[in-house]
Amino acid sequence: STSTVAEMPRPQLESTDAGRIRNLDHTLFNDVDFFPGMASNWGLSFMINSKRTAEGRSAGSLSWGGVPNSYYWIDRERRLTGVIAMQVLPFFDPAAVRLLRAVESAVSR
């Protein structure tokens, strides 16, 4: 419904550490901190960053990723969306994250 779609990008939790995840199985998942030092929250299906990122993503943007290092972001303020998909394990692989950030920086500038 229209009301559900309107609710999707709104923060849903009191917690502000949505972007930090500790993992027990490091063969498939690294520990994750999408935005070190920045509060983040969950909308319905999206992580929401609270401030502008170093790569240029606007505060309030929506994003998430998949296990094989596939990521997307939706910057509604700038009307910009990006997707990068890799087939690399473990999730949040440092080289994959560097590539994600480099691509987002290039697109966002």
For 3-59, the pLDDT digits (tens) are 998 899 998 887 777 778 888 888 899 999 999 989 999 999 899 999 999 999 999
User: What average pLDDT does range 87-106 have in this prediction?
Assistant: 96
For the chain, the first-to-last Cα distance in angstroms comes to 34
52 phi and psi, to 5 degrees?
-60, 135
Residues ≥6 apart with Cβ < 8 Å to 106: none
- Please count the residues of the chain: 109
Task: Quote the Cα angle for 54-57-73, to 5°.
Answer: 125
pTM: 0.87
